[in-house]
């Protein structure tokens, strides 16, 4: 193990035991200091001004069908790895990937998110339903991060009211959408060809 309060080496560092960075301290790759983004001072950061500086590669080299995996863990147990467990609840966020942008003031603007959340009223051992949720900023003065698509645990694709399911990428004139409650329109070439009203 390595314990240090300052720089250890400027070249390659080979460690044969665990490397522990204490709580409240950071591991920064590619720069000399941490940045705050989304109001968070993350303790692991990879920063750079060019492609290789700001990319992370995970690879598995094995004669089987398995690949590299990035694992996210959510538990309601406040103690880490002490042998106790506390099951997640419905709507708990299991993982979140955010797209943070420089808005000219800071790095606090989350322009988009992908979230996996518990979608299960009664989660149980080996039986926890998950929903996949996408959120984004609309731009044009709308500063609210809105849900734009959801795939429920049951596999249902859900779009918010007014969102379009388009079929001609780029043209945007052929789509299906719900104009209002229980009012479905099929639009072809910007013409509402069929309207289904309750």
Q: What pLDDT digit, counting tens, does each position of 40-82 carry?
A: 999 999 999 988 888 999 999 999 999 999 999 999 999 998 9
Given a cut of 70, whether residue 9 has pLDDT beyond it is no
d(CA 114, CA 96): 6
Residue pair 88/118 in contact by the 8 Å Cβ criterion: yes
pTM for the predicted model, two decimal places: 0.83
Given a cut of 90, whether residue 30 has pLDDT beyond it is no
Given a cut of 60, whether residue 1 has pLDDT beyond it is no
Q: What pLDDT digit, counting tens, does each position of 134-192 carry?
A: 999 998 888 889 999 999 999 999 999 999 898 877 768 899 999 888 899 999 988 99
Residue pair 134/145 in contact by the 8 Å Cβ criterion: no
């Amino acid at each position: 193990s390595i314990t240090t309060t300052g720089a250890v080496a400027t070249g390659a560092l080979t460690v044969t035991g665990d490397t522990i960075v204490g709580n409240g301290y950071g591991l920064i790759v590619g720069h000399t200091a941490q940045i705050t983004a989304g109001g968070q001072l993350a303790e692991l950061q990879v920063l750079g001004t060019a492609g290789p500086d700001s990319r992370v590669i995970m690879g598995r080299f094995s004669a089987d069908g398995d690949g590299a995996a990035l694992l996210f863990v959510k538990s309601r147990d406040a103690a880490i790895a002490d042998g106790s467990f506390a099951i997640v609840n419905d709507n708990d966020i299991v993982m979140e990937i955010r797209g943070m942008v420089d808005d000219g003031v800071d790095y606090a603007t989350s322009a988009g998110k992908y979230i996996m959340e518990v979608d299960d009223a009664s989660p149980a051992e080996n039986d926890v339903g998950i929903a996949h949720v996408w959120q984004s900023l609309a731009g044009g003065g709308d500063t609210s991060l809105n849900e734009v698509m959801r795939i429920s645990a049951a596999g249902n694709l859900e779009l918010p009211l007014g969102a379009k399911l388009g079929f001609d990428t780029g043209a945007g004139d052929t789509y299906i959408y719900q104009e209002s409650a229980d009012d479905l329109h099929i639009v072809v070439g910007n013409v509402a060809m069929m309207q289904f009203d309750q």
